[in-house]
Every structure is written in C-alpha cells, then in structure tokens.
C-alpha cells in the first residue's frame, strides 16, 4: 500500500540516551557495555576519533600552566600557534582569525564582521543578508535568521532578522528549468537578480555552505558555481561568506572546502573538525581587506574568545591531521567510501541519491525513485533509521525535511579521517542493514 500525505503522524518513541562511558578511536561504549561505531563523528565533529592520548596530553599540559589567558590581558602560545596553522592552511588573503567556542558563534561573528566592514567603508545602508533555502548556519539568533531550515526556526518566527532567500543549489533536486549542466549558471544568476532587485546598496553579504550539511544532506556546489558567486559578489560590493563549520577543516578532502572549487571568500567560518570535539572551538577567518577596513579591531569578541586550552586542543588536533596527512587521506579514500555505501545499499528501491564530497556523504531515501517523491514527513523515516542504527551499534546522522523543508529523509555519514578500511566497511554495512530493517516495517 502506498503511503499518502494523509497518513497519520507516526509517533516514534525516542528513548532517553544511554550514558557514554568510554571512547577510543571510532568506537564508543556505554555504561552497560554496549559498543557503538561512530559513523558520523557525532554531528561530523570527531575527525580523529575519540580518546586520542596526544591531544589529551596537550590539553592537560596547557591546563597545568594556565587554562585561559583572557584576551584583553594576554596573548598565548596556543593562540599564536593555532593562528599560524589556520592561516597557513587557508592561504591567500585569509590571514586574520578570531577564535570562538563553536560553529554558531563563528557564523555570528561572520555576520557581524560583514556589517562592521560595510559601516567602516561608509556603506552603512548595506544591512541585508542573502542566504539559500535548505541551509543551516547555527542556533544563535543571527545564524538562525540566515538559515533555511524550517523545523529548527518555527519556534522563533517573528524575532528573527529578515534574510533574502534564494533557491537551494542541488543537482538531485535542481531549480525548475535547470539541468545538471546549467544549474551553476542559473543559480548564480538568481543570486545576481536578488542583489539587483533589492538594490546592491542594501546588501551586506551572501552566505552559503560550499557543501550543504544537515539541511540538504551533503550537497556539493556544482562545478563553476562558487567562481561565479565570487565574481558577482565582487562586482556588486557584496561580501562572500563561506560557512565551512561542517564541511571545512579537511572534511571534504581539502582543508578549505571552497579550495576544491577554486574560490576564496571574504569571510569564512570553521569549527567542528578544528579541535575535533576535544574542547569547544570555532573560528572566523577573514581577509586582509576586511581587517584593514575595520582597523584590525573586530567588534565581535566574547569572554572566551581565543580560550587558551581550547586553542591548545586545536593545535594538537591539527598537528596530527597534518603529520598523518589525514586531509589527503580523505581525498584519496572518497571513492572507496562512496563505493562501500553503494554496495551496502544496493537493491534498495528507496535509495534515491548517494552524494557528497570527501568524508561528508549522505543517502537520500525516497518513496518513488522515478519521480524523486519523498516519503511523507508523518512517517519520520529518518528518525526510525537513526534509532534502528543505534540499536545495531551504529551512530549516524539522519535529518528530515531536506526535500522541501517538511518532507525528505537523509542519512549522513562523516567518519573519522583516520578510520581504517575495516571500520569504513562496518559503518556502511550497518547502515545498509538498518535501512533495510526500517523499510521492511513500512
């Protein structure tokens, strides 16, 4: 029997989470002794796995000296060293960094820097932001305002900053009239049309994810799109903000996700893989042009900006990532991970698309493969897969609403960069098993 949009909402009981007891590498153990393989690095965070002794020792050593040298009073070795690492990895004009304590805060600082820059150059009329539907930029009010993720925004409607919305850029679900070959140009033209319609003199910045994470399900920008966006923003005096909180820091096979696309933003955010979850850390990276305009004095710092122990964790993680060539490993193993996913999900009619870049991969499940019709949201299919996978000892990252903001089911895999071939195979096998079990019940 075909499920219809009138299907009653399925109540999926979500049990309280177990207590975690121990983590090592790709695996976590709860207090009852059950073992889980972390196939998504939590929410795409734990890029070198759990319990790394070198990182733990670096944090401990920093805490023995001083936990936090408040930025107004002191500079620190950890802050200087991590700044050098990040600016070297970013290259180009992205040579200024403001460290904060997470992705939402990093994006918030991106938005504030854009406004501060436009004010500093005498363009205070530029107050608006353009952002895409099916995007996720964070949970602070500013970051939430520019996000295109209906389910996570509905409770705050009426209190959010109004953003100008343009279409998502998804080759599987393209803009009406676009083909995979024309999508990049049509999407870029839509951005320029929005700038001209609202008046370039009112637009502060355009913010987008180079590879859309949770809101779209690992959707890479089509070839040529980012370069066209860069050209459009430059011509109209609009700052280009790349939100790389999830897709950056090596997750997509280059340290900057936009490096793959041959484009450089004016401002970018990075977080999850920066300190790999060992301590909370994010960063807002911006160009020399932006820094010079604001007289090298960003007005977006907080008490814990540049927190010393957090920066020490970031230094330790990034040293391991560099020394073990883990970003290069992600790039070279992308095809292997994708092949394992394809094999594990082979023969499942509900598999509509498998996509992503590097170690940020997703499967989209659809009710009808030919029409790409999603399963009704009432089924909460993504939630069922999450719970079944967890029961099977797999941590993955399912999300709903990716197709139209309400309907749509994706499951994201974002394994640690240093996962072994056997661990990657186990992750994919358990994903395939879990999806089959859930679909069999439907």
The CATH number of the domain holding residue 153 is 3.40.640.10
Structural domain harbouring 193:
53-323
Predicted pLDDT at 411: 98
Collapsing DSSP to helix, strand or coil, 356 comes out as strand
Predicted local distance difference test score (pLDDT) of residue 106: 98
Lowest mean pLDDT among 51-55, 148-152, 178-182: 148-152
Q: Are strands 27-30 and 203-208 parallel, antiparallel or unpaired?
A: unpaired
Residues 365 and 420 in one domain: yes
- For residues 314 and 362, membership in a common domain is answered with no
Mean pLDDT of 246-262: 98
Name every residue whose Cβ is closer than 8 Å to that of residue 143 and which is 6 or more positions away in sequence. Answer: 104, 107, 108, 111, 137
Alpha helix stretches (DSSP H) within 257-348: 272-275, 288-293, 308-323, 326-344
Residue 3 domain flag: no
Last residue of a domain, one of 275, 295, 323: 323
The answer to the question of residue 140 being in a domain is: yes
- Percent of the chain at pLDDT exceeding 90: 93
Fill in the DSSP letter of residue 14: -
Q: Does residue 7 surpass a pLDDT of 80?
A: no
Q: Are residues 275 and 302 in the same domain?
A: yes
Segment (H or E) for 100:
strand 94-100
Picking from 301, 323, 345, the residue at the C-terminal end of a domain is: 323
**Is 64 within a domain?**
yes
- Taking residue 348's Cβ as centre, other Cβ atoms within 10 Å add up to 15
Give how far Cα 110 sits from Cα of 140, 244, 284, Å.
Answer: 12, 11, 6
Strand order in the sheet with 394-395: 20-24, 27-30, 35-38, 394-395
State whether 129 and 251 are in the same domain: yes
**Residue entry with tokens 């049509």:** 186
pLDDT for 89-108, tens place per residue?
A: 999 999 999 999 999 999 99
pLDDT band at residue 151 under the 50/70/90 scheme: confident
| Residue 1: per-residue pLDDT | 36
CA 438 to chain centre: 27
| Residue in 199, 190, 137 with CA at minimum distance from that of residue 165 | 190
Same domain, 317 and 404: no
- pLDDT over threshold 90, residue 28: yes
Average pLDDT over residues 22-41: 98
The arithmetic mean of pLDDT across residues 374-399, rounded, is 97
Q: Which residue has the higher pLDDT, 7 or 404?
A: 404
Q: Are 44 and 66 contained in the same domain? A: no
This prediction's pTM = 0.95
Mean pLDDT over residues 389-393, rounded?
Answer: 98
Mean local confidence (pLDDT), 351-356? 98
**Domain-located, residue 436:** yes
313 and 432 belong to one structural domain: no
pLDDT band at 5 (very low <50, low <70, confident <90, very high): very low
216: its two tokens: 């779209």
State percent of the chain over pLDDT 70: 98
Number of domains, the chain:
2
Judge whether 288 lies within some domain: yes
Contact between 100 and 112 under an 8 Å Cβ cutoff? The reply is: no
Specify the range with the lowest mean pLDDT, choosing from 157-161, 413-417, 428-432.
157-161
pLDDT in tens, 127-138: 999 999 999 999
Residue 9 placed within a domain: no
Tell me, what CATH number does 399's domain have? 3.90.1150.10
Which residue, of 286, 308, 323, is where some domain finishes?
Answer: 323
Whole-number Å distance between alpha carbons of 107 and 158: 21
Residue 13 lies in a domain: no
* Average of per-residue pLDDT across 394-415: 96
The pLDDT-based confidence of 10 (bands split at 50, 70, 90) is low
Mean pLDDT confidence for 317-340: 98
Q: Within a domain: residue 385? A: yes
CB of 145 within 8 A of CB of 154?
A: no
Distance CA 105, CA 203 (A): 22
My answer on whether 81 and 109 are in the same domain is yes
One domain, residues 276 and 378: no
Q: What is the pLDDT of residue 9?
A: 58
Residues 233-239, mean pLDDT to the nearest whole number: 98
Please state, in angstroms and rounded to a whole number, the distance separating the CA atoms of residues 239 and 290. Answer: 9
- Look over the chain and give the mean of its residue pLDDT values, rounded to a whole number: 96
* Cβ atoms of residues 206 and 131 within 8 Å: yes
User: In which element (H, E) is residue 84 found?
Assistant: helix 77-90
Claim to verify: residue 176 and residue 123 sit in the same structural domain: yes
Q: Do 222 and 130 have their domain in common? A: yes
Residues 58 and 41 in one domain: no
């Amino acid at each position: 029997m075909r499920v219809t949009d009138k299907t009653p909402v399925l109540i999926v009981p979500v049990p309280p989470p177990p207590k975690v007891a121990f983590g090592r590498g790709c695996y976590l153990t709860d207090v009852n002794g059950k073992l889980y393989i972390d196939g998504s690095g939590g929410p795409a965070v734990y890029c070198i796995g759990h319990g790394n002794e070198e990182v733990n020792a670096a944090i401990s050593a920093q805490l023995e000296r001083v936990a936090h040298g408040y930025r107004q009073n002191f500079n620190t070795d950890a802050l200087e060293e991590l700044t050098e690492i990040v600016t070297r990895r970013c290259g180009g004009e992205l040579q200024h960094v403001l460290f904060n304590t997470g992705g939402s805060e990093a994006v918030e600082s991106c938005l504030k820097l854009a406004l501060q820059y436009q004010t500093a150059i005498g363009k205070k009329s530029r107050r608006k932001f353009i952002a895409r539907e099916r995007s996720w930029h964070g949970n602070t009010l500013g970051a939430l305002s520019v996000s295109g993720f209906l389910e996570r925004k509905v409770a705050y409607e009426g209190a959010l900053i109004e953003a100008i919305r343009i279409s998502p850029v998804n080759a599987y679900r393209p803009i009406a009239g676009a083909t995979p070959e024309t999508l990049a140009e049509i999407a870029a033209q839509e951005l320029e049309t929005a700038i001209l319609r609202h008046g370039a003199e009112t637009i502060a910045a355009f913010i987008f994810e180079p590879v859309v994470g949770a809101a779209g399900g690992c959707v890479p920008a089509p070839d040529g799109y980012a370069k066209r966006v860069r050209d459009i923003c430059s011509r109209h005096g609009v700052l280009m903000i790349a939100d790389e909180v999830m897709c950056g820091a090596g997750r997509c096979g280059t340290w900057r996700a936009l490096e793959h696309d041959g484009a450089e933003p004016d401002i970018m955010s990075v977080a999850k893989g920066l300190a790999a979850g060992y301590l909370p850390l994010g960063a807002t990276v911006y160009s020399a042009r932006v820094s010079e305009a604001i007289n090298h004095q960003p007005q977006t710092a907080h008490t814990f900006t540049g927190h010393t122990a957090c920066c020490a964790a970031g230094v330790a993680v990034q040293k391991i990532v560099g020394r073990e060539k883990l970003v290069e490993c992600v790039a070279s193993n992308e095809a292997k991970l994708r092949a394992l996913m394809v094999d594990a999900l082979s023969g499942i009619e509900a598999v509509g698309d498998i996509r992503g870049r590097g170690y940020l991969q997703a499967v989209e499940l659809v009710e009808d493969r030919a029409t790409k019709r999603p399963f009704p949201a009432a089924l909460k299919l993504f939630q069922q897969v999450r719970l079944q996978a967890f029961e099977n000892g797999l941590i993955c990252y399912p999300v709903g609403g990716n197709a139209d903001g309400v309907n749509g089911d994706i499951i994201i895999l974002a394994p640690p960069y240093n996962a072994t071939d056997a661990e990657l195979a186990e992750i994919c096998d358990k994903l395939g098993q879990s999806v089959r079990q859930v679909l069999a019940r439907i």
